[in-house]
Amino acid sequence: MSRILIVEDEADIASVLQDYLRHAGHETEHVADGRTALARMLEAPPDLSLLDIMLPGLDGLSVLRQARVHTHHPIIMLTARIEEVDRLLGLELGADDYVCKPFSPREVVARVRAVLRRAEGLAAAAGKAEGPVVLDEAHWRATLGGVPLNLTRREFRLLQAMSRHPGRIFSRARLLELAYDDDADVSERAVDSHIKNLRRKLSAADPSHDWIRSVYGVGFAFETPLD
């Protein structure tokens, strides 16, 4: 059983989420404004927070930004505007995932389960020496499961950023900044071609898993096998 903090000022949405999450076996707490949410996250971080963006007092993005200084518990953002997603992920504010409103409560429960499983996987992996990807930053060399990947520097930079935060979705704009810190005037399409090559090299080294997930219209995430 996990403890989920629901931060949502619309009472009916909060109550539906509470019902579904409790039914799925979670313990829930509901707060309706940003300041109370931040205080709760800092004094007793839950196992996961569902955080609405439009909130009275302190908005959800400010809560996220301030919470991230002190706590690394998983946070899923609730947003009514798809245009916010790019900003959310592009700014690297540290959200673990997002759900767009209007959503089905089932979708939220599924997303909560996936993010919790990933967090447990990361906690378990932290106890081990290394993940499947090993990066030698001094020599721009990367291996997957011990197999050399022969990456270009741009591919190396992308893999470095993405593999540090498995499951986190990186927008094309953010990946472009990571790959081209020299301000080259390139289109976001260039990212697709680097990702395509990176994906090909990763799957050549270990074809048993799909290492890079495409999120339609948003960007890409590096995924480690769950078990």
Provide the binding-site residues for Ca ion, judged by CB under 5 A: 9, 52, 54
Residue nearest to Ca ion (CB): 54
- CA-to-CA dists, residue 4 to 50, 70, 153, 215, 220, angstroms: 7, 18, 40, 25, 26
Spatial CB neighbours of 222, under 8 Å, sequence gap ≥ 6: 159, 162, 163, 165, 166, 167, 168, 211, 212, 213
Taking the least distance from each CB to Ca ion, the nearer of 57 and 121 is 57
Taking the least distance from each CB to Ca ion, the nearer of 11 and 184 is 11
**Minimum CB distance to Ca ion, residue 188 (Å):** 30
β pairing state of 212-215 and 133-136 = unpaired
State yes or no: cis peptide before 102, omega within 30 of 0.
Answer: yes
Taking the least distance from each CB to Ca ion, the nearer of 54 and 190 is 54
Taking the least distance from each CB to Ca ion, the nearer of 34 and 167 is 34
Give the H/E segment covering residue 7.
strand 3-7
**Minimum CB distance to Ca ion, residue 84 (Å):** 12
**Minimum CB distance to Ca ion, residue 60 (Å):** 8
Taking the least distance from each CB to Ca ion, the nearer of 47 and 52 is 52
CB count in 10 Å sphere of residue 41:
24
Beta-bridge mates of residue 31? 7
**Minimum CB distance to Ca ion, residue 69 (Å):** 23
**Minimum CB distance to Ca ion, residue 10 (Å):** 5
